[in-house]
Amino acid sequence: MPDAAYQARHFINGVFVDSADGQKLDRVSPSHGIVVSQAALGSETETQAAIKAARAAFDDGRWSSLAAKERAAVLYRVADLIEQNEERLAVMETLESGKPISQSRGECGGAADLWRYAASLARTAHGDSHNTLGADILGVVVKEPIGVVSIITPWNFPFWILSQKLPFALAAGCTCVVKPSEMTPSTTSMLGEILVEAGLPAGVCNIVLGLGTPVGSLMTTHDDVDMVTFTGSTAVGKMITKSSGETLKKVALELGGKNPQVIFPDADLENAADAVTFGVYFNVGQCCNSSSRIIVHEDIADAFVERVVALSRKVVFGNPMHPDTQVGAIVTEDHKAKIDGYIKDAISAGAEICIGGQVLDVPGLGDQFYQPTVVRGVTPDMAIAREEVFGPVLTVLTFKTFDQAVALANDSTYGLSAGVWSENVHTCLEFCRRAQAGTVWTNTWMDGFPELAFGGMKQSGQGREIGRYGFEEFLEVKSLVMRIGRTRAPWVKTD
Ligand code: NAD
């Protein structure tokens, strides 16, 4: 444990600063109940200054006009420094979010790969040429950085999600203003130190710490911001779509999910049960990709649920700082109460709790934890089957036919991810084609790669991040129409 609370500061125009009014926000660790960081609490003053710095840095070309090779070199250095700082970042991530230290190490250290991949893309931005438009015309389509990008991130994977956005925006030549969640500000602030060491020019990335209002809302409405990329709840995503509409900014949204895994009787059921257990308890279910509902064939439902319940008993819940812990704390007391509310409502509506369903008291750490929970007897209309619970809670639905399974999987306002388990390639392929989801996994869950675009259909979001598609989101398209001959006939008749 660190000796003292980390002091997280804004990073504006290359300088670390406190808020002009001196305001700070304490973060109490969800697992340990002590103040682990104090973050400057930003106001409009700091937000305006950060946007001004990003605008100036973009307009004078100190970053956007650099050769992509030079931009890539900075991003590669950032990746190396992230790896060198992995432990420091991971400890802070765990203390602020409550997630297990092994997972934080994977996320923070692993994020270096996102930076390296984005660096490799920096040199690939290119457009098209058209040499068939007539004898004297050459058409060229070029890609340009879109401009100043506001990046707003949530608390559940603070450093990872930041790294799904920022290096790709920087690789494209954009300048940025970043706002992390007020609950997990510190690793983003620490990244500021890494950016300085890596040689990123001042003003290219600015970080403002603080609340959705006023900081986030100004970042989505300010005239000098060209694009907003947001990860968070669908409710706030909808607000941002509206608020940014006044200035017609480009908006990319990564929002919630209610992700199904469909299990057919011919699947490798041992593997499927393990992946379902992982999919629902990873990050205590506080995960946009949580497989919070399974749709299992009725012939195997009893045995399959029994298997998942048995595995649930073996998952190590507890102290996030212990290296063997697999599942840590719930992010806030309020959120724990919300999870518990879903369970109580489901029980009143006739659902049956197979395991869990209660707050979990971890000796020496208190009760900001929740038991691994499996709920059966759920009908598709219940809130627990439709809404994002964002806790370690699995709901079970059953099906008889393939068509029923697809209909249940798609019966959601969300469309982030889905999974199918079967040894029959035709079953898997047909499911993949019919699933309304931005990612479909077959016989696995939550494997991700920097190369593969990530994002949601329906109310899970718009736009894509990571991969080539994610990089392209930060590029604007410009067509150059160049007359290269002397054949243009005058429009105005002068004689
Ligand atoms: P949230 O929407 O409450 O907050 C996200 C961020 O938005 C925070 O930084 C917050 O301060 C800021 N914010 C709040 N109000 C704002 C406003 N009016 N204008 C601008 N910014 C504002 O979400 P959360 O509780 O931090 O995160 C959990 C949610 O994020 C879940 O719904 C989860 O599914 C979603 N999520 C999605 C993905 C994905 O990639 N699809 C990944 C992780 C989390």
SS3 label, residue 103: helix
Quote the mean pLDDT of the chain. 97
Q: Which residue has the higher pLDDT, 19 or 2?
A: 19
Pick from 47, 157, 229, 231 the residue to mutate for probing ligand 1's pocket: most ligand atoms within 8 Å of its CB: 231
The position carrying tokens 């109580």 is: 344
**How does residue 1 score in pLDDT terms, banded at 50, 70 and 90?**
confident
| Binding site membership of 388 for ligand 1 (Cβ less than 6 Å) | yes
Measured from the CB, is residue 288 less than 6 Å from ligand 1? yes
User: Quick one: pLDDT at residue 146?
Assistant: 98
Give me ligand 1 centre to Cα 155, in Å: 8
pLDDT of amino acid 140? 98
- Average pLDDT of span 52-74: 98
The Å distance, Cα 200 to ligand 1 centre, comes to: 27
Q: What is the mean pLDDT of residues 285-312?
A: 98
Please tell me what DSSP assigns to residue 393.
Answer: E
Nearest alpha carbon to residue 474 among 203, 111, 125: 125
For the chain, helix, strand, coil in percent to 5 are 40, 25, 40
Return d(Cα 48, Cα 215) in angstroms, integer: 9
Judged against a pLDDT cut of 80, whether residue 247 lies above it is answered with yes
Confidence band (pLDDT; 50, 70, 90) for 487? confident
Closest CA to 249 of 258, 260, 257, 240: 240
Query: Dihedrals φ, ψ of 478, to 5°?
Result: -130, 135
Separation between Cα atoms, residue 125 and residue 323, nearest integer Å? 42
Q: Give the length of the chain.
A: 495
Ligand 1: does its nearest atom lie under 6 Å from the Cβ of 358? no
pTM over 0.95, yes/no: yes
Quick check: CB of 244 below 6 Å from ligand 1? no
Q: How confident is the model at residue 2 (pLDDT cuts 50, 70, 90)?
A: confident
Q: Over 80: is that where the pLDDT of 486 sits? A: no
Residue owning the nearest CA to atom 15 of ligand 1: 212
Residue 239 CB less than 6 A away from ligand 1: yes
Token digits for 161? 């999600």
Is the CB of 181 inside a 6 Å radius of any atom of ligand 1? yes
Would you state the pLDDT for residue 488? 82
Alpha-carbon torsion, ordered 215, 221, 224, 229, to 10 deg: 80
> In the prediction, which pLDDT does 56 show?
98
Which of 253, 234, 236, 204 minimizes the C-alpha distance to 64?
204
What confidence score (pLDDT) does residue 485 get? 78
Taking the centre of ligand 1 as the mean of its atom positions, its distance from the CA of residue 235, in whole angstroms, is 9
What local confidence, expressed as pLDDT, does residue 135 receive?
87
- pLDDT at 489 (0 to 100): 84
Q: Which atom of ligand 1 is nearest to the CA of 157?
A: 43
Cβ pair 472, 455 in contact under 8 A: no
Annotated active-site positions, please?
254, 288
**Ligand 1 centroid, distance to 158 Cα (angstroms):** 11
Q: Quote the percentage of the chain above a pLDDT of 70.
A: 100
Ligand 1 contact via 151 beta carbon (within 6 Å): no
Q: What is the mean pLDDT of residues 231-258?
A: 97
